[in-house]
Amino acid sequence: MEKWQTADKTVLVVEDDRKQAAQIKKVLKKNHYDVLVAHDGLDAVEQTNRHQINLILMDVRLPFFSGFWFCNVFKQKKNTKNIPVVIVSEHLNKNNTQKARLVGASDTVKRPFTNRRLLSVVQKNTL
């Protein structure tokens, strides 16, 4: 993918594991995405209020409230309902994947994942 195709795309990574967040950020930055990071749900809300976000990559288990709860509320707000949310977690099984869809997630990525898989989902959801 060419830089000009992603230069204006901002991805918010919501991940309480700082090492995981840094790894995802590194992969996305290398592929010319602007990346913001939030380590809990409250920070995620603040980031979405302050910045133009094109995609959210969200863990399920977070301090303060779950990624499922955030996605459900986020998708009900007029100003944020059209921003794609991708649930990224090692806790994805058939039930959690179905729950992610029910709360409005546009996609899911099960950890561990390859950089190629992550980029594929990000590219598909930021068109």
Question: Residue 99: which CATH number?
Answer: 3.40.50.2300
pLDDT digits (tens, 9 = 90+) for 23-80: 999 999 999 999 999 999 889 989 999 999 999 999 998 888 889 999 999 899 888 8
Q: Domain of residue 31: give its range.
A: 3-125
21 closest CA partner among 50, 53, 59: 59
* CB-CB contact of 42 with 64 (8 Å): yes
The answer, yes or no, to whether residue 3 has pLDDT greater than 50, is no
φ/ψ of 72, rounded to 5, equals: -60, -50
User: In this predicted structure, what is the pLDDT of residue 7?
Assistant: 59
The pTM is what? 0.91
Please count the structural domains in the chain. 1
120 closest CA partner among 109, 106, 104: 109
